[in-house]
């Protein structure tokens, strides 16, 4: 079994926050792939289903962000999973809005949700870093992440979540390159190609002038009229 965890804060007041993009990611996977209903377990809510050959448990911890590791650790112990089976979707200030990067292991870079998971299961798990951009000053970070995405963000956010759902099966089987390609195709769809052999439009020809049947003397006279 694989465990996909989306980080966020529970409750309607936080639902549209930038900090909750991890929740949004696993919700998009559940919806697109016909996962089962969400139910309360492991100090969070879970939904089960299959992505290709892999059985996958989606988890949204409801301990609030700073204690996410309690929920994740409980689920991993129950299913006897290792950090290699865990992938965490989380917001990333150091990536531009709409950018996505995969990371295996390493530090938590000050992210409180990851910090908590590190404390409970170690650091050798996978992460899907979801760019939300930076407000420009560290003192503005808390307010920025706990505010909703702006209306101008909705276009790229919808494309990003669809791309994550498109590539979820590849991610579950460990094909990170194919997963990232699925996201890229949603974010920057290829331009349609012109059919081969298509004829170029031809400008209409000007009608031919009628022959001038006037005599030379008549043409000369007409010039002075």
Express as a percent the part of the chain with pLDDT over 70: 86
Neighbour-count burial of 75, counting CB atoms closer than 10 A to its CB (0-12 exposed, 13-18 middle, 19+ buried):
buried
Is the pLDDT reported for residue 146 higher than 60? yes
Q: How far is CA 123 from CA 42, 113, 117, 150, 194, in A?
A: 20, 12, 8, 32, 49
Say if 11 falls within a structural domain: yes
Say if 70 falls within a structural domain: yes
Please count the residues of the chain.
Answer: 225
Say if 75 falls within a structural domain: yes
* Residues recognised as catalytic: 19
Tens of pLDDT along 36-56?
999 999 999 999 999 999 999
DSSP secondary-structure letter at 197? Answer: T
Range of the domain at 109: 2-187
pLDDT, residue 189, reads 77
Tens of pLDDT along 153-202?
999 999 999 999 999 999 999 999 999 999 999 998 777 776 666 666 66
Place of tokens 């917001």: 91
Say if 144 falls within a structural domain: yes
Structure-block tokens of residue 13: 């007041």
Say if 192 falls within a structural domain: no
Kindly report the CATH number assigned to the domain that includes residue 136: 3.40.50.1470
Residue 188 CA from chain centroid, whole number: 11
DSSP secondary-structure letter at 17? Answer: B
pLDDT, residue 201, reads 66
C-alpha to C-alpha distance for 87 and 75, rounded to whole angstroms:
13
Q: Is 46 helix (H, G, I), strand (E, B) or coil?
A: strand
Neighbour-count burial of 51, counting CB atoms closer than 10 A to its CB (0-12 exposed, 13-18 middle, 19+ buried):
buried
Place of tokens 């170690």: 122
Is the pLDDT reported for residue 22 higher than 90? yes
Mean residue pLDDT of the chain comes to 91
pTM: 0.84
Q: Where are the alpha helices (DSSP H) in 19-134?
A: 21-32, 68-79, 112-121
Is the pLDDT reported for residue 213 higher than 70? no
Say if 199 falls within a structural domain: no
C-alpha to C-alpha distance for 25 and 168, rounded to whole angstroms:
10
Beta strands 44-51; 39-41: pairing state? antiparallel
Say if 210 falls within a structural domain: no
The domain tally of the chain equals 1
Average confidence (pLDDT) over 12-22: 97
């Amino acid at each position: 079994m694989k465990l996909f965890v989306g980080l966020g804060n529970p409750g309607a007041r936080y639902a549209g926050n930038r900090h909750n993009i991890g929740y949004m990611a696993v919700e998009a996977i559940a919806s697109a792939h016909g996962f089962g209903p969400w139910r309360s377990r492991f100090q969070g809510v879970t939904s089960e289903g299959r992505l290709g050959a892999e059985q996958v448990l989606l988890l949204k911890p409801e301990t609030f962000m700073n204690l996410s590791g309690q929920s994740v650790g409980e689920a991993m112990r129950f299913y006897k999973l290792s950090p290699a089976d865990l992938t965490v979707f989380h917001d990333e200030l150091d990536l531009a809005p709409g950018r996505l990067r995969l990371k295996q292991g390493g530090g938590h870079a000050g992210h409180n949700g990851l910090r908590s998971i590190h404390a409970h299961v170690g650091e050798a798990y996978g992460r899907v870093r979801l760019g939300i951009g930076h407000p420009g000053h560290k003192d503005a970070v808390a307010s920025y992440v706990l505010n909703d995405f702006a209306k101008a963000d909705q276009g790229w956010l919808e494309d990003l979540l669809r791309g994550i759902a498109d590539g979820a099966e590849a991610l579950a089987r460990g094909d990170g390159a194919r997963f990232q390609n699925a996201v890229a195709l949603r974010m920057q769809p290829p331009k349609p190609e012109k059919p081969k052999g298509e004829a170029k439009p031809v400008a209409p020809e000007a009608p031919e002038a009628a022959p001038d049947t006037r005599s030379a003397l008549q043409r000369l006279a007409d010039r002075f009229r």
